Amino acid sequence: MSADLLVSALLVSALPGEIRAAVLRDGVLQDLLILRDTAPVQVGDRFLAKVGRFDKGLEGAFVDLGLERDGLLPAREVAGPMPPEGSALPVAVIRAPAADKGARVSAKRAGASLDDAQGLRAPARLGGGQGVLTDLMRRAEVSTVVCDDADLLRRLRAAVGEEDCAFDLAAPTTSLFQVHGVEAEIDALLQPVVTCPGGAALLIEPVQTLTAIDVNSARHDGRGGAQAQARAVNLAAVPEIARQLRLRALSGLIVVDFLALKKPEDRKAVAAALRRAVADDPEPCQVFGLSPSGLLEMTRRRGRAPLHEVLCRPCGIGGRGWEKSPETLAYEALRHLAAAARGHPPNRVTLKVAPAVAAALQDGQAAALKAVEERLGGPIALVADPLVAHFDLVLD
């Protein structure tokens, strides 16, 4: 694929149980989706819901989605009268559930009919991810879609049409995300430290009640004085803060600790710059003023689950840290294996993995393992080795 196709492109890479999509604009990652059948519920996920009681005060009906908490279906999100209690209804999530709230759903935006749920009994989760991807394509206004799954590409082409968008099929072993640097970006998005243009650095720490972002000046040449330098560093950090919030899917209360500014006009300029930077965010953001000490509060509506919750599991004392989950490592191992064998199919493939990763490949990711075996044209010998931290590949 030529570089000019990446001016505005959507890369889609799929394995059974997982779809990953990345929007690149001029080669820079602008948006990221990782959809898993077992992942936390995200905006755009579809369910066959069982309609419950109608609540006049909330002007909507509670619906059973098969989750811990019932969702809410507002009356305005139903085309026509509210379906009777006990009926099955395809719905799409328009606000992801939180710790103390159920999801908010829409029947208008489900993009599905009962035919999509043949053989299923409500409540049930509907897979596929097509609706989320088409919404992303339209919102990002991409000119090219490159996908390594022929069936998914066909469905995306049928849903969107080819008037304003080109569709390209990549070979399943192309490693789209690796070739275009997205794999490295995803790993970087799981790290707390982010380097910004102009010498600023961000420390991003999501905790249970909020996300803290600390702005540091990694370099200080002293030109123009300390306050001028602080203003320049803060303004240089603003676009990256907005980008990181979007890519990491952080939401709720966000506290940014900028470098302190004495002049009110400087503080207003930084807050105004952040408001402009998040203006095109698909999730509504509200940015408040900047205090003399440099603290700024903002909120971002919860849409999809935070990236670290999708790819990682809690670890450490009190579960306050994060590490890649066995499921994430299982998919990584399969993608590395497919890439390593590209163009040189081995006679024998051995995949040595940590026991937890082996369990994932034999259970939830069994279909993905089979798909990679079909791509390679032979079986993969899976070895659970407690001495392996993540995975090792042996190609003969």
The residue ranges of every structural domain in the chain are: 3-39+136-174, 46-126, 190-300, 325-395
Q: What is the pLDDT of residues 138-191, one digit of tens each?
A: 888 899 999 999 999 998 888 887 777 899 998 866 788 998 999 999 999 999
Q: What's the predicted TM-score (pTM) here?
A: 0.84
Residues with pLDDT less than 70, the chain: 1-6, 111-118, 127-129, 172-173, 218-224, 343-346
Q: Which ranges constitute the DSSP H helices of 192-311?
A: 226-248, 264-277, 307-311
Q: What angle do CA 110, 116, 121 make, to 5 degrees?
A: 95
pLDDT (0 to 100) of residue 46:
86
Strand-pair category, 144-147 with 8-15: parallel
98: tokens are: 């939180």
Residue 288 CB contacts under 8 Å (≥ 6 apart), including other chains = 271, 296, 297, 298
DSSP for residue 240? H
The residue among 254, 395, 269 whose CA lies nearest residue 338 is 395
The class that CATH gives domain 3-39+136-174 is alpha beta
CA of 73: how far to CAs of 62, 154, 224, 280, 340, in Å?
Answer: 6, 31, 56, 26, 47
Q: How far apart are CA 384 and CA 390, in angstroms?
A: 10
* DSSP code string of 14-50: EETTEEEEEEEETTEEEEEEEEETTSPP-TT-EEEEE
Q: Which ranges constitute the DSSP H helices of the chain?
A: 130-140, 150-160, 176-179, 182-189, 226-248, 264-277, 307-311, 326-340, 355-362, 366-376
The class that CATH gives domain 325-395 is alpha beta
pLDDT (0 to 100) of residue 1:
44
Burial classification of residue 386, based on how many CB atoms lie within 10 Å of its CB (0-12 exposed, 13-18 middle, 19 or more buried) = exposed
Q: How far apart are CA 305 and CA 309, in angstroms?
A: 7
Cis ω before 123 (30° cut-off from 0): yes
The class that CATH gives domain 46-126 is mainly beta
Strand-pair category, 28-36 with 18-25: antiparallel
pLDDT (0 to 100) of residue 367:
94
